[in-house]
Amino acid sequence: MSGFTVFLQQLANGLVLGFLYGLIAIGLSMVYGLLRMINFAHGDVLMVGVFIALPVSWMGAPFPIVLLSGIAAATAVGGLIQWTVFRPLIRSRDVTLLVASLGVSLLLQNVVLMLTSPQPKRPSPEAFLDAPFQIGGVFLRNVDLMIVALAIAFVIGTHWFLQHTRPGLAIRALSQDLGAARMMGIRVPRMIFICFLVGSALAGVAGVFIGYKYGHLNPYSGFLPGVKAFVAAVIGGIGSFPGAVVGGIILGLLEVFLVGYLPDALAQFRDAYVFLVLILVLLIRPSGLFGRAEYVKA
């Protein structure tokens, strides 16, 4: 394999991973934009989604049904924790919400652990998704193509929702000034709930695909992708919708290229590099790529 082909292969792998991060980051970023809250349970919502999709897959359901069940489960869990845990805390300080989300994260992990087992699981193989194909020396599977195509479709759909619908307009207003949004007659709790639903649904999509692409799922599988997606959101500028997607792609590429080109001894610390990137971004440009510069009128 020539050096250039290797580069292209890494590029493709990085993009696929990046789109997964982007899908997860959108929910985190939206919620942060509204509540200034870092939702540590977001990754675990994704995990619950997959863990409900798994038995559906084992029962022999076709892929679209598995995907839908994962989305539905993640959306339901995301909505449920928002309604029962975060909504009553909405007036408390940011730290309270953050700690609550950590608590929910541990709760979800342990409930799933209790009901299943720590043994890694994977969905029943789907011949179509696993089928390999090759373009210009780059080897991919259909699942990679699906990830990119569906991620783009969902991103465009969410963007359209935010820009062109009444609730979308309300959500954007909310993220700028929650108090003023109330004065407009916007039902703030309902809008926040909608945001959680949308973000959780997108996490559910990512979850099912992670299952098909990597297999190897256990009750802790959601936490790290969740935290990494948070890093992606910070890179893109937390609170910004395009930022979440672009940040995800940048992070995916960085991770894959570092692992691909660093010597083996260093490459094994792939997760550490992600957080190194986080620290660098926070030092150099804390508002991220698309972040709002603090609006100051002297």
Partner 1 sequence: MASPALELDRVSINFGGVRALDQFSLALQEGEIRGLIGPNGSGKSTAFNVITGLNNPDSGDVRMEGRSILGLRADEVAARGIARTFQNLRLFGAMTVAENVMLGTHLSRDAPGLVPTLITAPRFRRHEAEMRERSEDALKSLSIVEYADELAGSLPYGVQKRVDLARSIVARPKVLLLDEPAAGLTEHESRQLMDLVRRLHEELRFTLLLVEHDMHFVSSLCPRITVIDFGKFLAEGAPSEIRANDNVVTAYLGTGKLEGAARDADARGSGAATPPVVAVRDLEVRYGAVPALHGVTIEAQEGAITAIVGANGAGKTTLLGAIAGVAPPWRGGIFHRGEPIARRSCEERVAAGIVLCPEGRRLFPEMTVEENLRLGGYKVKDRAAMAQALERVFDLFPHIADRRGQRAGTLSGGEQQMVAIGRALMAKPSVLLLDEPSLGLAPNLVELIFETILEISRSGASILLVEQNASMALEIASRGYVLETGRVALSGSAAELKARADFVEAYLG
- Where do contacts with partner 1 occur on this chain (CB under 8 A)? 166, 169-170, 172-173, 176-177, 179-188, 292, 295, 297-298
Joined tokens for residue 221: 């599988």
Rg (the chain; Cα; Å): 19
Q: At closest approach, how far in Å is the CB of 166 from partner 1?
A: 7
Q: At closest approach, how far in Å is the CB of 51 from partner 1?
A: 38
Between 265 and 296, name the residue whose CB sits nearer to partner 1: 296
Partners of 217 in the β-ladder: 121
> C-alpha angle 288/291/297, rounded to 5°?
125
Rounded CA-CA distance 215/203 in Å is 17
Between 102 and 188, name the residue whose CB sits nearer to partner 1: 188
Question: Is 278 strand, coil or helix?
Answer: helix
Residue 54 identity (one-letter amino acid): L
Residue 170 near residue 181 (C-beta atoms within 8 A): yes
Between 102 and 169, name the residue whose CB sits nearer to partner 1: 169
Between 132 and 297, name the residue whose CB sits nearer to partner 1: 297
Partners of 140 in the β-ladder: 133
Residue 32 near residue 174 (C-beta atoms within 8 A): no
- The position carrying tokens 């309270």 is 96
Q: At closest approach, how far in Å is the CB of 41 from partner 1?
A: 28
Q: At closest approach, how far in Å is the CB of 171 from partner 1?
A: 11
Between 93 and 187, name the residue whose CB sits nearer to partner 1: 187
Rounded CA-CA distance 258/267 in Å is 7
Rounded CA-CA distance 17/21 in Å is 6
Between 94 and 271, name the residue whose CB sits nearer to partner 1: 94
Q: At closest approach, how far in Å is the CB of 236 from partner 1?
A: 16
Partners of 141 in the β-ladder: 132
Q: At closest approach, how far in Å is the CB of 123 from partner 1?
A: 41
